[in-house]
Copies of this chain bind each other. A is one copy, B any other.
């Protein structure tokens, strides 16, 4: 019997699903599961040749009709159209691509499409792509550098014309041959590692600094910071913003006030509770991204005394909570749009040197950052 996974697997990809058997997948001579009938093109779709035969014209004439090229008599065109209709012919873009060299598709590699930050970003990229007649292939790296590389290279093998990448890894030298080969590339949200390419990011440093300043302006001095893993560029930048704001205000930062790590709710909950307990608890918390913010809101909801909060990234319904959640908002759609537009300018050839574009963030005050220290 075939196991479900290998039955359909046209690319013969080695899927790294935790290899529970332990023994290697030996390529042997020919595994039974890999056997496939020789000319098995599933549906046997009609080709231009079939259309030509049926219409009684030459192959190239069909091509001309299909592509709206001039030089075909109305009568001939009619016959061809009829044959196309009758056979249910649909041009095979794979073959077209092979011939033309461009695939009219671009790839987007992000962390997790299910994250409310990346949905709008992806949609914005798609819209720009659509305006250029290109389709979008999406891939989630799950914040895993290997998986990012695997995805990017798979996309390159498909010969996408361009790549928008939200890096998970921090070394992108593996992309050098691709860049040289002309694959347009733009990095978003975080810069690329060891490679010279276009980058579109938010002002993570400035945004975080302003958010923390806001707390300081409302009288807080013991301010906690809970963020993502420090190896992630945005997390590091936001932490730097926090430190800068504190230093500028002459507040020495205590180690227990900072907690960086995975955004797993359990870890975040523990971090928040620790900061809020002890002899000198924080009176305000700055959270490093939307997931952390949501978890901390839950913790604070169950906390006896009010604690001020400013979060990085806007979250839906933040205005309806009591108090409303003050945030440093970045514009995910604008990030995606800017990146995609730059990508297509690369493809147009109207773009020269790689550049770093920084989009501003916006402090949206809703109350939670204005709470005075409760001691």
Q: Which residues of A contact B (CB under 8 A)?
A: 2, 4-5, 7-13, 15, 17, 27-29, 40-45, 67-70, 88, 90-95, 97-98, 100-105, 112-116, 118-120, 122-124, 126-127, 130-140, 153-159, 161, 176-178, 180-183, 294, 297-298, 301, 315-318, 320-322, 333, 344-345, 347-348, 350
| Nearest CB in chain B to that of A154: its residue | B135
The oligomer's copy count stands at: 2
Expressed in whole angstroms, the minimum distance between the Cβ of A8 and any Cβ of chain B is 4
Contact in complex: B297, A320 (CB < 8 Å) = yes
A279 to chain B, nearest CB (A): 29
Give Cα A68 to B29, complex, Å.
11
Among candidates B8, B90, B139, residue contacting A136 with C-beta atoms closer than 8 Å: B139
Q: Are B15 and A133 in contact (CB under 8 A)?
A: yes
Residues of chain B within 8 A of A40, CB atoms compared: 101
For A117, the closest partner residue in chain B by CB is: B119
Q: Which residue of B lies closest to A68 (CB)?
A: B27
Task: Select A132's contact among B9, B140, B322, beta carbons within 8 Å.
Answer: B9
B45, B133, B158, B322: the one within 8 Å of A322 (CB): B322
Q: Taking CB as reference atom, which chain B residue is nearest A28?
A: B70
Contact A180–B113 (Cβ < 8 Å): no
How far apart sit A91 and B317, CA to CA, in the bound complex (Å)? Answer: 48
7 A-B pairs closest in CB distance: A88-B177, A43-B181, A43-B182, A13-B133, A42-B182, A10-B102, A41-B101
Nearest CB of chain B from residue A151's CB, rounded to whole Å: 8
